[in-house]
Amino acid sequence: MTGPTPRAPATARALSAALNALGIHPAGARPADVLPLLGMLLAKIETDTAARAPVSQNPPARLTRLLAGYHQQAPTPHLGLLVDRLTRTALETGLEEPPGPLTEAAAHASMAAADLLTAHDHLAHGHRRKAINALHQAQHHLDHTRLTEGPGPGRTSLSS
């Protein structure tokens, strides 16, 4: 494997070709299709990763080789990427029907992490008020991660 080479973002045609090579046949390849095509490619990558590194394995051990390859292409994680990933995790965690108390708490914890990174970014750019707002959002989400054995304000009950 080689290291990163600066390239322009992938086109709809290139994404469609990559998906076709992986056995996925998308309907479109227009510029407007780029985000759905990226989503399809992301789903393929993540489902293949999960199949090859089951969650029952130790997460740091199962992700070490994956991250080695990832960091060859993206040596420095972009803060926006991390925030998007955490937000997507929160949204997808919330899709469980019916939502359980632990998955609700996990979704709130992911959103709190995204809000904390957003606050960090705002502070780095001198936007104190925006940072404070993001910290308030993080606190709101953290308040919903408290697990108890009974109901209570701002707590997720484990009782049924």
pLDDT of 158 reads: 59
Spacing of C-alpha 71 from chain mean position: 16
pLDDT beneath 50: ranges in the chain: 1, 160
| Amino acid identity for residue 113 in this structure | A
State how far the alpha carbon of 15 is from the alpha carbons of 2, 9, 24, 30, 82, in Å.
20, 10, 11, 10, 22
State how far the alpha carbon of 60 is from the alpha carbons of 54, 57, 65, 112, 122, in Å.
12, 9, 10, 22, 30
Q: How far apart are CA 49 and CA 65, in angstroms?
A: 11
8 A C-beta contact, residue 26 and residue 35: no
pLDDT of 159 reads: 55
Q: Which two tokens stand for residue 139?
A: 């606190």
pTM of the model: 0.74
pLDDT of 63 reads: 78
DSSP for residue 156: E
